[in-house]
Each structure stands twice: as structure tokens, then as C-alpha cells.
Amino acid sequence: MIYFMIPMYNEAANLPVLLASLLQWTLRCGEHCHLIAVDDGSTDDTAEILRGFDGLPTTVVRHRSNLGVASAFESGFRAWSELSVGTCDLLVTLEADNTSSLSILKEMVERARAGFDLVLASCYAPGGTIVGTNFVRTSLSFCANLILRCTPGMPGVCTFSSFYRVYRGSFLRRAMAAYGDRMIEETGFVCVVELLLKFGLVGARICEVPLRLDGAQRKGASKMKVTRTIRGYLHLFLRAATGSVAKPRAEAQVSRIITDGSGTLRLGRGAHSRTDESQVIPVSECLERATTSASDSIGSQV
């Protein structure tokens, strides 16, 4: 099962195209999909449009007032953890404004199923580009990327703040167990960068797929306040530099290992999984991941 988790705030103008695109992609690729829409206190027709959508199984999480991006992601992850029952499930997060082109989603899904824990859609990766956005905003985005690239502990990727990502369900459960209620501590759009930093600390295997980000596809103004967000990036940088970013719990980093007697080892169920299925991986890789995670965790807490 592929779950789409999409935070929304006053996206009525963008939703008809977005929902039609999701349905078309699902039918074209023959995937079983479920939409988790987090309506973050919208005051337009977002809720009404969602109520009328019957193309995909849909769960709507509605905030009575606008609580911000961080709260929307917390609610979305929580809803996903309660719905997802398969160890092979994937979670796709993306923007609601149609700038997350679904033309690359099939490749992103394939990479996640090939073993990457987190796949990023990257407009800054080789082959990626930004169009339909003014020069000032593009320049500020480039400067913000430089700040984030220098942040201590940040994974060596090209794009940091995009919502558009594919998570392997087994990894996301492990990360949620590792951080508990401290997985998201930053506010606003900075929270997705904080997530990337923390995922790196639990040893996520990350790759990027080039994205052509077309700002002209968006109807209405972007919800991100650039100056406020860059200040947030600097705050996160200082937290990382001073070692005040939450560390993963040591006991959550090494998954329970069960021998199945056939030359492989199986990773036990994640904290939020409700299935008896297990993820099969080679013995050597399992031992290497467990040993590396344990040593990294001990080193980070000395």
C-alpha cells in the first residue's frame, strides 16, 4: 500500500488538479493507494472538496485552527501509523500546490522498494531545475541551501526543505520509535529539515531523484514566509552545532533480530506495526546495520 500524506491549508484552488493527478497516477501505475489529507484549519472550500472526493480511500485529519506545518506533519504521521499495517508500505509526502510533479514518483517508489529508507525529490540534484519562480525567491532558496549544507550532522544531500519524499514504512516506524514525542520540535517549514537531520542520525539510507520544480503550477501565493524560514534554518544550525538536537533513543536504534533458520535474519515488527510479516534482509547487512547503529548511538551520547 502507498499512502499519500498531504498537509493542506486553504488549497481549494489547487485541490481539483491535485486530486485528479493522484487518481490518474494510481490507475496508471496499478498501485493500491490511500490519501491522508491533513486540513490545517482551512477557511476556504478545502474541506468541502475533500468531502466530495471519492477517487481514493481517504482519511481527513482536520485541525480546527491553523496550527502550522509541524503540527500538520505530526498529525499526518500519527494517522499513517494508525492506518498502516504492512511492513512493505510506503508513505509519500508532498506539497498540495501541484509543484510536486508526479512524473518522477514511479522512480521514487522503485528506489524505496529497492532498499532506500528515504527518497527525496530534488530540484538541486544534477538534472533538477527550478522554473516559474522569481529570481529573488530562487536566490534566497539557494542561500538557505548553503546554510543547511553546512549544518553539523546533516546528510550529504542537495535538497533539504522539500515536502516531496517517499519513506519506507519500516524505517519511518523505527524513526518514530527512536525519537518518540521529540521527533518534531521545530516549528513551521523548518520541521522538514529537522526531520532530515534526525533521520540521518538513525542511519537512514537516502537518495535523491531530480525534480523539475515548476512554480507556475501553483495557484495562489506560497504559504512559506522566506525570511522567517531562513531564521528558522539558522536556529536549527545553532542547535545542531551546540549538540542540542534530540538524540535517538539507543534501545530503538537496534531492531529486534529473529533467526528464521534459512540463512537470513528477520527484523522484528516496528513500534507501530500491526502485522506479523517481517522484512527479510541478508545476514551480513542486518548485522552491519545493527552494529553501526549501536556504535553511532553510543558515540553520540558520550
CATH no. for residue 193? 3.90.550.10
CA–CA separation, 194 vs 197, rounded Å?
5
Q: Residues 158, 274: one domain?
A: no
With cut-offs at 50, 70 and 90, classify the pLDDT of residue 269: very low
Q: Residues 177, 269: one domain?
A: no
Burial of 23 (0-12, 13-18, 19+ CB in 10 A): middle
Written as one letter, the residue type at 244 is: S
pLDDT at 189: 87
Lowest-pLDDT range, 16-30, 46-60, 121-135, 155-169? Answer: 121-135
Residues of the domain holding 289: 250-300
pLDDT beyond 50 at 302: no
**For residues 164-190, average pLDDT:** 95
Q: Residues 265, 149: one domain?
A: no
Question: Among 220, 241, 262, which residue terminates a domain?
Answer: 241
Q: Residues 59, 152: one domain?
A: yes
CA 162 to chain centre: 9
Q: Are 210 and 104 in contact (CB under 8 A)?
A: yes
Q: Residues 62, 178: one domain?
A: yes
pLDDT at 282: 40
Q: Are 272 and 89 in contact (CB under 8 A)?
A: no
CA–CA separation, 300 vs 56, rounded Å?
43
Question: Among 215, 241, 267, which residue terminates a domain?
Answer: 241
Lowest-pLDDT range, 62-76, 196-210, 243-257, 265-279? Answer: 265-279
pLDDT at 221: 63
Q: Residues 44, 119: one domain?
A: yes
Longest dimension (CA), the chain: 60
Q: Are 196 and 184 in contact (CB under 8 A)?
A: no
299 vs 153, more confident: 153
Q: Residues 234, 255: one domain?
A: no
Q: Residues 151, 255: one domain?
A: no
190-200 pLDDT, tens digit each: 999 999 999 99
Burial of 107 (0-12, 13-18, 19+ CB in 10 A): middle
The total domain count for the chain is 2
Q: Residues 153, 281: one domain?
A: no
Q: Residues 254, 237: one domain?
A: no
CA dihedral 31, 207, 77, 278 (to 10 degrees): 70
With cut-offs at 50, 70 and 90, classify the pLDDT of residue 298: very low
- Measured CA distances, 161 to 69, 124, 157, 194, 253 (Å): 12, 11, 11, 9, 25
112 vs 128, more confident: 112
Written as one letter, the residue type at 126 is: P
Q: Residues 263, 197: one domain?
A: no
With cut-offs at 50, 70 and 90, classify the pLDDT of residue 258: very low
**For residues 36-55, average pLDDT:** 96
Question: Among 201, 224, 241, which residue terminates a domain?
Answer: 241
- Residue 121's beta-bridge partner residues? 209
**For residues 171-192, average pLDDT:** 94
Q: Residues 227, 272: one domain?
A: no
pLDDT beyond 70 at 179: yes
pLDDT at 260: 32
Q: Of the spans 72-76, 161-165, 214-218, 246-250, which averages the highest pLDDT?
A: 72-76
- In this prediction the pTM is 0.79
What does the block give as the cell for 208? Answer: 535523491
Residue 31 burial (CB count, 10 A): 14
